[in-house]
Amino acid sequence: MSLCLGRGGFMNWEEFEYEYVCYPWFEPECRERTYKAMKVLCERMPEEDKVRIPSVIVFAPPSAVWGEQHTLFHPACPEDRATHMLYLSPELENRPQANVNSTVAHEFAHAILNHDGTMSAEDPYQHEREADTLIATWGYRPTNSCGWMQKGKKK
């Protein structure tokens, strides 16, 4: 299986795990809640959204940041110029499992929606609302990243 499998979707947890968890940057033994959140995401995400996942690298170094998404180039997938890196902090392990599940799903939603990390001057919380709207269709509660519910424009 190649690192570029994301474009073809996943039929089961083993394929999803191989693609997004079995990297040198993610150690399931140290990240029990994050690992469980990845499994829950695989179970909840509809197949039509799984096939929309671009090539993604899941990176989980230590930090106080709970999650972020970046667009980057991946040399193993030269045909995918817009590869995404999802940052999942070990600090997530200190959060309730439902929060971890929503954060992991939220970051995957950014990748599926091809958000590039830029913010609109008119509505800086638009991408956060879009990601939370998508994960709500998967059965998650919105993450309310950056407090957008209080600060962002209502649509």
Q: Are 60 and 90 in contact (CB under 8 A)?
A: yes
Domains, the chain, with CATH or none = 10-151 (3.40.390)
Q: Per residue of the chain (155 residues), what is the pLDDT tens digit?
A: 223 344 445 568 888 888 877 665 676 777 889 999 999 999 999 989 988 888 787 876 544 456 666 666 555 555 655 577 888 888 888 899 999 999 999 999 999 998 887 788 888 888 888 999 999 999 998 877 656 555 555 44
pLDDT of res. 77: 58
pLDDT of res. 64: 46
Structure token digits, residue 108: 């995957």
pLDDT of res. 1: 25
Distance between CA atoms of residues 37 and 46, nearest Å: 15
pLDDT of res. 147: 60
For 11, 111, 152, the CA distances from 8, given in Å and listed in that order, are: 10, 15, 34
The whole-model pTM stands at 0.72
pLDDT of res. 151: 54
Distance between CA atoms of residues 101 and 80, nearest Å: 27
pLDDT of res. 63: 46
Q: Are 106 and 132 in contact (CB under 8 A)?
A: yes
